[in-house]
Amino acid sequence: MDALVLGLVLGGLYALLAQSFVLTFITTKTLNFAVGEFVALGAFVVLAVAGWSWLPDVGKLAVGVLVAAVVGAAAYRFLVVPFMTEGEHDVRWLLSTVALSFVMLNLITNVEGPSPQRSETARLSGAVDVLGAGVSKQQLLIAVLAVVVTVLLVVASKKTSAGLVMRAVSQDPETTSLMGVSPRLVGMVTYAVAMGIAALTGTLYAATVGASPVMGAPLLVASIAVAVVGGLSSLWGPLLGGALYGVLSEVTSYEFGAIWGETAGLLLVIVVLVWRPQGLLGRRTEVKL
């Protein structure tokens, strides 16, 4: 039972970050492999402004999110757009975002040093009892936030005009441009939002493990896995994928040891991809001739 609750909470963390993969995939059919570094970027920016005592914690979070959003939009414009020009088989953007990840990781390490730094911003201390399992408040906050963010995104995509544009772009970017909307601009905005979410995740996560350059790496793997399991084209996908992945890996590591937990999670990805390449909630894209 403990493992189940902890797995769900952990799944929440992955689901929150997975949302940034899903967002960019829905609108641009690309993934940013440097998301892990945006997690760290957010955490360190917030750390840098932690001393601004006049700014409430929410404001500090906002600074971190904004910086990551701007860098994210620029990354899309200059490192993704030039490398996705040759149709759906063109995956050079994948290599360029990996390269970006190297550069950012290296830069952050050189500037901040490799060891974790304590982050107090937006930090809840203590634990609460959930169905008999002790869960740290911070982790619970992240999991709850994952649900809130997902619901907000779903509502926004259904009810707002920006959401309408996003759905239109995901279905047919060319026709969207005939409606006076630039798909490239939509992509930049989406990247900004997605990297903002990554930065938010990073800040809240840093409050539990400290801010370090490599803090995003384990999250990256798990959240790609979660996004793929849930379905890269579904906003609800991360919650389902996160729950499955989190519970499976937590229960497995509880029973057989930590190493098998992650292995089981990643094997889940392979099983799901074989069975449903589009993910559990994903929409199958028709093959056009």
Contacting positions for other proteins (CB under 8 A): 25, 29-31, 79, 82-83, 88-89, 91-92, 94-96, 98-103, 105-107, 110-111, 161, 164-165, 167-168, 171-172, 174-183, 217, 221, 224-225, 228, 232, 258-259, 262-263, 266-267, 269-270, 273-274, 277, 289
Beta carbon nearer to other proteins, 129 or 174: 174
Nearest to 105 by CA among 189, 33, 200, 204: 33
Q: From the CB of 211, what's the least distance to other proteins, in Å?
A: 16
> Measured from the CB atom, is 1 or 111 closer to other proteins?
111
Complex with other proteins: residue 198 or 228, whichever CB lies closer: 228
Answer whether 181's CB lies under 8 Å from 169's CB: yes
The least distance separating other proteins from the CB of residue 271, rounded to whole angstroms, comes to 8
Pick 56 or 82: Cβ nearer other proteins? 82
The three-state DSSP-derived secondary structure of the chain is CHHHHHHHHHHHHHHHHHHHHHHHHHHHCCCCCCHHHHHHHHHHHHHHCCCCCCCCHHHHHHHHHHHHHHHHHHHHHHHHHHHCCCCCCCCHHHHHHHHHHHHHHHHHHHHHCCCCECCCCCCCCCEEEECCEEEEHHHHHHHHHHHHHHHHHHHHHHHCHHHHHHHHHHHCHHHHHHCCCCHHHHHHHHHHHHHHHHHHHHHHHHHHHCECHHHHHHHHHHHHHHHHHHCCCCCCHHHHHHHHHHHHHHHHHHHHCHHHHHHHHHHHHHHHHHHCCCCCCCCCCCCCC
Comparison of 68 and 84: residue with beta carbon closer to other proteins: 84
| Nearer to other proteins among residue 5 and residue 43 (C-beta) | 43
Q: Could you tell me the smallest distance in angstroms from the CB atom of residue 183 to other proteins?
A: 8
Neighbours of 234 (CB within 10 A): 22
> Rounded to the nearest 5 degrees, what angle is found at the Cα of 183, between the Cα atoms of 279 and 231?
5
How many Å apart are CA 15 and CA 122, to the nearest integer?
19
Smallest distance from the beta carbon of 64 to other proteins, in angstroms?
19
Nearer to other proteins, 62 or 83 (CB): 83
Handedness of CA 21, 24, 29, 32 (dihedral sign): negative
Minimum distance from CB of 257 to other proteins (Å)? 9
When the beta carbons of 45 and 100 are compared against other proteins, the nearer one is 100
Q: How far is the CB of 148 from other proteins (least distance, A)?
A: 25
The minimum distance between CB 26 and other proteins, in angstroms, equals 12
